C-alpha cells in the first residue's frame, strides 16, 4: 500500500512540475509579445487623438489578434463593435473586419502597428 502512495505522490509532483513549466512558458511568451514596443498607451492615445477608428466584431479572430498587439493599451483605441452597432458600421461602409479608418484612409484587415503609426503620424518606439 505504501508503494502505491509513493508512486501516486511522484505522479502528482510530476504533474505539478509540468503545469508550472507550461505556465512559466506562457508568461514568458506573453511578456515578450507585449514588450515589443515602448509606451503603447501613448501610441494608442495618439491614434485616438488623430480620429483613428477600428471597426470589428468580437468573434473575428483577426480583430482579436489586432487587439492583442495593443495589449492593455487597446482600451485607449476608438473601437466600434459592429455586432453592437451594425447601423454605424453599415453607414461607414464597413464590409470586413477589422477595418481601420484614419483620416480619409481605409485599411482593411489586420495592420502592422508601424503602418498605423505612419498613416496617423503617431510615434511608435520599438524596444531594443
How does pLDDT run across 91-115, given as a tens digit for each residue?
999 999 999 999 999 999 999 999 9
DSSP letters along 37-70, please? Answer: EE-HHHHHHHHHHTT-EEEE-TT-HHHHHHHHHH
Q: What is the pLDDT of residue 68?
A: 96
pTM passes above 0.85: no
Q: What is the mean pLDDT of the chain?
A: 86
CB distance 124 to 90 below 8 Å: no
Amino acid at each position: 500500500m505504501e508503494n502505491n502512495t509513493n508512486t501516486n505522490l511522484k505522479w502528482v509532483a510530476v504533474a505539478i512540475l509540468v503545469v508550472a513549466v507550461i505556465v512559466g512558458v506562457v508568461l514568458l511568451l506573453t511578456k515578450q509579445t507585449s514588450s515589443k514596443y515602448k509606451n503603447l498607451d501613448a501610441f494608442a492615445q495618439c491614434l485616438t487623438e488623430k480620429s483613428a477608428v477600428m471597426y470589428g466584431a468580437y468573434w473575428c479572430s483577426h480583430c482579436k489578434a489586432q487587439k492583442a498587439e495593443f495589449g492593455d493599451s487597446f482600451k485607449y483605441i476608438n473601437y466600434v463593435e459592429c455586432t453592437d452597432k451594425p447601423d454605424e458600421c453599415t453607414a461607414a461602409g464597413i464590409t470586413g473586419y477589422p477595418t481601420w479608418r484614419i483620416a480619409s484612409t481605409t485599411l482593411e484587415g489586420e495592420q502592422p502597428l508601424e503602418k498605423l503609426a505612419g498613416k496617423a503620424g503617431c510615434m511608435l518606439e520599438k524596444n531594443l
